[in-house]
């Protein structure tokens, strides 16, 4: 977890707005959002559906351009998918190649680094071991449960030794027990690999449990409503942490912020021209 503020934040979101053109007008998905995320921080982003969480994450990934403002990674403006950044999506079944072995799925992630074969093999084994699947290299994704496939997707993200890992609702499609195991996995990986993690979720308990800081977005238009430090220590435990009165206080604070009334209002086409 974070050791303290650095001069140049890992991710610097500076005055960012994003508007989409829709049939009914311009939709402001995110309005004038600024936030600095320090190297090694684990930041979750929570908010009601449609408040711009995925839009923010896709702009951080360089997959969408802001309409206004700028996002910098280590001081460099992001104008396309940058090296050193990995994304884990919710839909693991579509993010892995089902006909390829786990080994090939992982090796492919590092292909553009042109590493020697031995280094690729070493990394594959290291990353699979890190996610608790040391013996899975020869399996195909369809032979694995949803939770195992999402572990493989995380291992694949680790293959590029990411400085920043962006996760978009990564555990929304798995059962509750698997979800708890995966939450503990990402907390541990964040600490072991030292990556900066931005974790989008609509689950308030999850947002508080995994993070050093919770960014709460509000809708109508999407914007940053609160930036809440999570002072629960670096060791998290599904039972003990959730019984901690500070956890209860934080989840109640975030819940109240998320439940505020909201509305999505498009600027009519004539007015936005
Ligand atoms: P969240 O991830 O918080 O659910 P999104 O970032 O997906 O929110 O969406 C924010 C707003 O932008 C929503 O009102 C959504 O309908 C709209 N939106 C997202 N993507 C597009 C798009 N490609 N075209 C038009 N509107 C979009």
Angle at 101 between CA 169 and CA 142, to 5 degrees: 60
Question: To test the ligand 1 pocket, which listed residue (17, 29, 225) has its Cβ within 8 A of the most ligand atoms?
Answer: 29
- Predicted TM-score (pTM) of the model is 0.89
**What distance lies between CA 207 and its chain's CA centroid?**
11
In angstroms, the CA 70 to CA 33 distance is 10
Question: Which of 74-83, 91-100, 130-139, 162-171 has the lowest average pLDDT?
Answer: 91-100
pLDDT tens profile 29-73: 999 999 999 999 999 999 998 999 999 999 999 999 999 999 999
- d(CA 7, ligand 1 centre) in Å: 33
- d(CA 170, ligand 1 centre) in Å: 18
Pocket of ligand 1 (CB under 6 A): 20, 22, 27, 29, 47, 49-55, 222, 264
In angstroms, the CA 54 to CA 66 distance is 13
Question: Which of 96-105, 183-192, 255-264 has the lowest average pLDDT?
Answer: 255-264
Question: To test the ligand 1 pocket, which listed residue (20, 57, 168, 169) has its Cβ within 8 A of the most ligand atoms?
Answer: 20
CA atoms within 13 A on the CB side of 190: 28
Helix or strand run (H / E) with residue 209: helix 204-210
138 vs 266, residue with greater confidence: 138
Question: To test the ligand 1 pocket, which listed residue (23, 27, 48) has its Cβ within 8 A of the most ligand atoms?
Answer: 27
Confidence of residue 267 (pLDDT cuts 50, 70, 90): low
- d(CA 222, ligand 1 centre) in Å: 9
Shortest-distance atom of ligand 1 to CA 57? 6
3-state secondary structure of 68: strand
The percent of residues above 90 in pLDDT, for the chain, comes to 70
Shortest-distance atom of ligand 1 to CA 56? 6
Shortest-distance atom of ligand 1 to CA 169? 2
3-state secondary structure of 271: helix
In angstroms, the CA 215 to CA 200 distance is 9
Confidence of residue 204 (pLDDT cuts 50, 70, 90): very high
Residue whose pair of structure tokens reads 């650095």 in the numeric block: 6
Q: What is the pLDDT of residue 273?
A: 41
3-state secondary structure of 113: helix
In angstroms, the CA 3 to CA 5 distance is 7
- Indicate the burial class of 33 (C-beta count within 10 angstroms; 0-12, 13-18, 19 or more): buried
pLDDT at 261 over 60: no
Q: Which domains does the chain have, with CATH numbers?
A: 1-84+162-273 (3.40.50.300), 95-161 (no CATH)
- d(CA 29, ligand 1 centre) in Å: 6
Confidence of residue 266 (pLDDT cuts 50, 70, 90): low
Q: What is the pLDDT of residue 272?
A: 45
pLDDT at 162 over 70: yes
pLDDT tens profile 105-140: 999 988 777 788 899 999 999 999 999 999 999 999
Q: What is the pLDDT of residue 263?
A: 47
- d(CA 125, ligand 1 centre) in Å: 38
pLDDT tens profile 206-256: 999 999 999 999 988 899 999 999 999 989 999 999 999 999 999 999 999
Question: Which of 103-117, 148-162, 250-264 has the lowest average pLDDT?
Answer: 250-264
**Helix locations, the chain, DSSP H:** 53-60, 92-95, 102-109, 117-130, 146-158, 176-193, 204-210, 240-243, 245-258, 269-272
């Amino acid at each position: 977890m974070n050791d303290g503020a650095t001069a140049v934040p890992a991710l610097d979101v500076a005055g960012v707005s994003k508007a989409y053109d829709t049939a009914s007008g311009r939709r402001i998905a995110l309005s004038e959002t600024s936030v600095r995320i320090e190297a090694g921080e684990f930041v979750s982003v929570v908010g009601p559906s449609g408040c711009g969480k995925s839009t923010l994450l896709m702009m951080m990934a360089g997959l969408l351009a802001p309409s206004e403002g700028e996002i910098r990674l280590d001081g460099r403006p992001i104008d396309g998918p940058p090296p050193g950044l990995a994304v884990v999506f919710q839909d693991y079944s579509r993010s892995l190649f089902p006909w390829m072995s786990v080994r090939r799925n992982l090796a492919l992630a590092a292909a553009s680094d042109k590493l020697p074969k031995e280094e690729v093999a070493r990394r594959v084994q290291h990353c699979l071991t890190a996610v608790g699947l040391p013996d899975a290299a020869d399996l195909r994704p369809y032979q694995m449960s949803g939770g195992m496939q999402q572990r493989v997707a995380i291992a694949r993200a680790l293959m590029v030794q990411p400085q920043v890992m962006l996760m978009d609702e990564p555990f929304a499609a798995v059962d509750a027990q698997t979800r708890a195991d995966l939450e503990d996995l990402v907390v541990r990986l964040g600490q072991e690999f030292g990556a900066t993690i931005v974790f989008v979720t609509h689950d308030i308990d999850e947002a508080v449990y995994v993070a050093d800081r919770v960014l709460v977005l509000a809708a109508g238009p999407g914007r940053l409503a609160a930036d809440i430090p999570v002072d629960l220590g670096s060791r998290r435990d599904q039972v003990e942490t959730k019984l901690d009165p500070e956890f209860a206080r934080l989840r109640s604070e975030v819940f109240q912020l998320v439940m505020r009334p909201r509305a999505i209002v498009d600027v009519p086409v004539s007015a936005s021209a």
